[in-house]
Amino acid sequence: MVETREIDAVEDLLPWTDARNPLIWQRRGDGMAGWGEALAIRVDGRSRIATLADAWREIAAAAEVHDEVRLHGTGLIAFGAFAFDDSSALPSTLIVPSVIVGRRRGRSWITRIRRAEAPGDVAFGPTEYGAHWSATLGPGRMDPAAHGDAVRAALAAIERGEAQKIVIARDIAGTVPAHADLRRLVRALATGYPDTWAFAVDGIVGASPETLVTVHGGEVTARVLAGTRPRGADADEDTAITSELATNQKDIDEHEYAVRSVVDALRPHTSALAAAEQPFTLKLPNLWHLATDVEGTLSNGSSALDMVRALHPTAAVAGTPRDAAMAAIRRIEPFDRGRYAGPVGWIDAEGDGEWAIALRCAQFGPADAGAPTDPSATRSVTAHAGGGIVAGSLPEAELLETRVKFRPIVDSLN
């Protein structure tokens, strides 16, 4: 049973979700916060996204939905976070919350979801933010020196003709207090980077600037980001940076690979598809990206999860050609990316939804035994940042790019 009704205006969604394991999707204050688990599906392996897409169709078809609001995000909703790689040790997850509080275009609502065999409605309400906290962070399994070696290994593979582009990431790792209120991290990211998708799903928290795919009313859109520079100190420096970025052949090639991979993946599912011939420069608080928007009309009733399956992994986070790039990543990177650079977002009963690529994010492990009563108990945290390696890439410049990309999550963790 799914029931959605309108409620008085909600100014802040975050108090309506769990402090230690928040479930949230928002941009500029609009979005949804979930609490509890009416249903959770966790799968792994090569067919994980297809399995979840099929399972969701069955769930949606069987659901009895009463939705008096009927906005994008009302009714039956599942939040998802998927592993980057087929071989990841972390599962890919769809979570249907027991309660969802949402807001969009000035309207707020509450959705209660209950399985037929479950007891009545659960007690639910907003809770105050917990105490401020900070993380202890240090090098992960790939420190800066090892990252330079990894970039050189990728360049050697490109020179041998194995691939045209390979995305190489590095990691940092540490701990946070076991009692840490992770909603504070979401709030810091959402406040500092309001144009990104701020999210928290099943232990991964971040603020992604890159929309993987949006499906709404038969229309599909995607935003491709590839090619990066740090922001300048003033307007004149920003102008010079964007001019150089927009004309740099290495960045243009890297961006073109990413756009082509998205267009090629969407074309079989659309009756009309358009992408701008030239990218634009997208301004974020800490950097510039080359960006291209892709728009189309779906032709075969595909859902948002079908589109996620078709698109992931894009050249922006894996490389070109896809299979060769993924093989190189598995060989070169000394870690499991988990859900970093994987799809994260939500889907509704109609198959509509919004999905981003999990970037500028951190992944949290379970709390130590005895937490949160033990003040010394901790919880592991790992963050990743990467960049696309193409012919002509320089290891020193690639390391700088990862440092810039780490800034949002590292600053917010501290």
**CB 355, CB 308: distance < 8 Å:** yes
- CA 103 vs CA 19, 79, 351, 390, 406: distances in Å: 20, 16, 20, 42, 30
Task: Of 329, 319, 296, give the one whose Cα is nearest residue 85.
Answer: 329
**CB 258, CB 316: distance < 8 Å:** yes
Strands 65-67 and 2-7: parallel
Task: Of 310, 311, 328, give the one whose Cα is nearest residue 319.
Answer: 328
Per DSSP, the residues of 135-167 read -EEEE-SS-HHHHHHHHHHHHHHHHTTS-SEEE
Q: What angle do CA 78, 299, 209 make, to 5 degrees?
A: 50
- Examine the residue annotation and report whether 165 is marked as an active-site residue of this protein: yes
Note the residue count of the chain: 414
Please report, as a single letter, which amino acid is at residue 88. S
Rounded to whole angstroms, the Cα distance separating 77 from 56 reads 10
Task: Of 365, 341, 343, 359, give the one whose Cα is nearest residue 407.
Answer: 359
Task: Of 96, 97, 106, give the one whose Cα is nearest residue 7.
Answer: 106
Please report, as a single letter, which amino acid is at residue 298. L
User: Among 11, 37, 159, 165, which one carries the catalytic annotation?
Assistant: 165
Q: How many helices (H) and strands (E) does the chain have?
A: 8, 23
User: Among 37, 58, 117, 210, which one carries the catalytic annotation?
Assistant: 210
Task: Of 17, 20, 12, give the one whose Cα is nearest residue 36.
Answer: 17
Half-sphere exposure of 272 (CA within 13 A, CB side): 4
Task: Of 45, 84, 14, 124, give the one whose Cα is nearest residue 341.
Answer: 84
Catalytic residue numbers read 165, 210
